[in-house]
Each structure stands twice: as C-alpha cells, then as structure tokens.
Amino acid sequence: MTVQDFETAARTRLDPVHADFIAGGAGDEITVRANEEAFRRLRLLPRVLRGSAVRTQEVTVAGSRARTPVLLSPTAFHKLCDEEGELATARAAAAAGAIMIVSMASTVAVEDIAEAARGAGADGAPAPLWFQLYLQPDLEFTEALVRRATDAGCTALVVTVDSPVRGAHERDLRNGFLDLPDGLRCAHMVDPHEGGRVRSIAMSPEISWAHLDWLRGITSLPILLKGVLHPEDARLAVRHGADGLLLSNHGGRQLDTVPATVELLPEIRAAVAGRVPVVLDGGVRRGTDVVKALALGASAVGIGRPVMWALAEGGEKGVRRLLELLREEVDQALALCGACGVQDLTPDLVRAPAWGPPPLPLPGADTARPGGVVS
C-alpha cells in the first residue's frame, strides 16, 4: 500500500548484504535520514473551491516529455535485485511514461535498456531515457560512452559531480561488500579494445569545470548536473552551459551531514533564477513529498531506493506498482490542494520551518534570524 512497504517486503527476499548496500549511506547516515525528515517537517496549505476535476501530471523537463513528474534517478546494479535487472525497470518506467535515468553502473547495456523501453512505451510513444555519466579522466572512453548513449536514443545526459572520491559506505565495509557477485558486471565498463576487460569506474578528484566545457563541446544533448548543492556552483553550472540541475545529495551516500535536498531547493531555485529546470531527489516517499517539491519549484522529482526495493520485491510488476502507487498519491494530493497540475503548485502551498543558510552577522547589523525561506 505504501512505498515504504516495498522495502519491508524486499528485505525478506534480498541478501542482507545487498539490502545494506541499497539502504546505506555515507558515514553516520545523517543525511540519509535528513532527506526524509525534511519532507515530514514541511506542511501543505491547500486551496479550496478551485474546480480541480480534470488533473494531469504531465511535465516536460529539458526537452523530454513525461506523463509523471516522478522520474527514476540513476541507481547501479539492478541485477542485484532481479535477474532481468534494468530491462525490467525500463519496461515498467516506459509503461508509466516516466523518465528513467540509466546509471553508468548499470548491469545491462544502454542499447538493450532502450530496446526494452521502446517495446513497453504506452501509446507507441517512446519513453524518455536519460544517461548518467561519471566523467572519466580517459576522455576518449568518456566520449565513446556519450556516443553510445546518444545512438541508443537517450535524450539527455546527467553528469554526476558529487563524487570526486567515493563516499565512505561503512555498512559495505563492515559487510565486505566491495565487488559485484560473480556473473554480474558494469555493462558500460567492458572495454572492447582490451579483450573485454572490465574497467573500474573512476571517481576522480581531477575532474573540473574544464571537463564540463569539453563535454559541452562534444554533444548537443541537454546536460544536467547531478549533485550541485552550493548556490554559487548552481550559478557556475548555468554559466558553463548546463541545461538543468538534478539537486541531489546522492541519497546521503557521498558527503555525510550535507543538508536535505528539499531544504536547499528554494536557494538553488533562486540561484538559477528560472534559467534552467531543477529536478530534486532524496527522500521522496509520498505523493505529498512530490507535491511539496514541485510547489517549491522543482520541475520533477527523482526516486532511487524505492525503485530498487520494488524491483527486488516484484521485478517489472513491482516497479509498475510502485509508479502507479505514487501516481495515485500525487493525484490525490493535487485534488486536495485544489490543483489541476504542476502549474497550479506554488510556494504559498508549503509552510516550512525556518531553515536555510545561517545568518551572516555583519558588523553592526541586526543579527536577528530571517524567517522561513518560503514566503
């Protein structure tokens, strides 16, 4: 009945080491918890008598049209959850008309995922697929991967920029989960020039804005940056030609103790000043969470762990049910807010506690804390 139920059910089926890999985060997992808690602290303030009988959830983000504002954030290794892996996920996403962001660390190749999605798209419409990339210091390899994703029909690239090194996943270290089980591999990291050797994904601290400029020069696909948290970086992203941001703290899996993403949303929105869309992920578990994020200015929201749990619980059917459930919950929340669609969701529908940047005590200035970030 709820998104949370999928986790409970999945845990009875999954190897506990793999369940820990999915659930876990970096360090003390403070940010993992903060993401969900922040949504719980926000309150909705609905409008009434607005005639919201005909409702739509359609959105267009960075040129891709979707039937739902809920997209599938990139998650690695779907074959840990289901033997069909990303093929099952792609079919379910296509049936729901949801954007799926294929992880660079997927256990099925993007060409095969695209084929599965094409076969399952409702109304014969192609389901939008985006491709997530960790920029590799080996630019030739990165360029070849961008071409593969483009040729497979992906309509945007999502560059994850919060991973100059990998976050410290202490559950995995304790469990000794350091590699994929035999028989599974990252499909995009098999190097045809090196006799099928599987490369590791480099999370490299040498990656800089210059690499993004290089990427901008080799592709005409929209580029979204995933993992920008500081408003100054959001401004820089726009200046460097990014077409959108995926406001994400990697589900609390990179730097622990960073703020919940929904807390940062108003600041990031203000920084980009409407020039590019902002998608948000992290802790979205309810239709009301989706509505809160959209009201605060997100163009869409992503879900990570729930997809893995649903896949483990029921394969393609599980992910279909998950997406249906969220569609039903979003529809109900829209109706109860007096909204016919995303366009009717505005910041005045949300009451936020007083979070945001700490007050900057200026010499001689009144140091009283400003009110909530949502006015």
Ligand X SMILES: Cc1cc2nc3c(=O)[nH]c(=O)nc-3n(C[C@H](O)[C@H](O)[C@H](O)COP(=O)(O)O)c2cc1C
Chain contacts with ligand COI (rule: CB under 6 A): 76, 105, 201, 250, 253
Instruction: Kindly state whether residue 287 participates in binding ligand X, applying the rule CB under 6 A.
Output: no
Min separation Cβ 348 and ligand COI, Å: 35
Site for ligand X contains 31 (CB under 6 A): no
Find which of ligand X, ligand COI, none residue 132 binds, CB within 5 to 8 Å per kind.
ligand X
Tokens encoding 54:
């005909």
How far is residue 255's CA from residue 25's CA, in Å, rounded to a whole number? Answer: 9
Supply the angle between the helices 231-239 and 261-272 in degrees, to the nearest 10.
40
CA-based nearest residue to 155, from 74, 99, 217: 99
State yes or no: residue 89 binds ligand X (CB under 6 A).
Answer: no
Distances in whole angstroms, Cα of residue 193 to Cα of each of 111, 190, 198: 19, 9, 11
Residues recognised as catalytic: 250
123 three-state secondary structure: helix
Residue 282 interacts with ligand X (CB under 6 A): yes or no: yes
Report the distance separating Cα 325 and Cα 309, nearest Å: 14
Beta-carbon-side half-sphere exposure of residue 211 (alpha carbons within 13 Å): 20
Which one, 246 or 339, has the nearer CB to ligand X?
Answer: 246
Query: What is the smallest separation between the CB atom of 75 and ligand COI, expressed in angstroms?
Result: 7
Range in contact with ligand X (rule: CB under 6 A) among 174-182, 262-270, 298-306, 351-359: 298-306
| Sign of the Cα pseudo-torsion (97, 101, 102, 103, in order) | negative
Contacts of 128 (CB under 8 A, 6+ apart): 64, 65, 66, 99, 100, 155, 156
Site string for ligand X, 199-238 (x = CB under 6 A): ---------------------------x------------
CB of 105 to ligand COI, least distance (A): 4
Give the binding range for ligand X (CB under 6 A) out of 10-18, 170-178, 268-276, 277-285: 277-285
Residue from the set 7, 86, 281, 329 that interacts with ligand X by CB under 6 A: 281
Q: Where are the beta strands (DSSP E) in the chain?
A: 43-44, 59-61, 64-66, 70-72, 100-102, 129-133, 156-160, 190-191, 197-198, 223-226, 244-247, 278-281, 300-303, 350-351
302-341 residues near ligand X, rule: CB under 6 A: 303-305, 308
* Ranges within 101-120 binding ligand X (CB under 6 A): 103, 105
Choice between 73 and 299, CB closer to ligand X: 73
Q: What would you measure as the largest C-alpha separation in the chain, in angstroms? A: 68
Rounded CA separation 303/299 (Å): 14
Residue 68 binds which entry of ligand X, ligand COI, none, with Cβ cut-offs from 5 to 8 Å by kind? none
Q: Which of 59, 105 has the CB closer to ligand X?
A: 105
Identify which of residues 135 and 284 has a Cβ nearer to ligand X in the complex.
284
Q: Which is nearer to ligand X, 67 or 250 (CB)?
A: 250
> Residue 315 is which amino acid?
G
Count residues binding ligand X (CB under 6 A): 23
Q: Which is nearer to ligand COI, 32 or 98 (CB)?
A: 32
Instruction: Identify the residue among 26, 76, 280, 330 touching ligand X (CB under 6 A).
Output: 76
Q: How far apart are CA 121 and CA 92, in angstroms?
A: 9
For ligand COI, give the closer residue by CB, 109 or 201.
Answer: 201
* Integer Cα distance of 35 and 283 in angstroms: 5
Residues at the site binding ligand X, with contacts judged by CB under 6 A = 22, 35, 73-76, 103, 105, 132, 160, 226, 248, 250-251, 253, 281-284, 303-305, 308
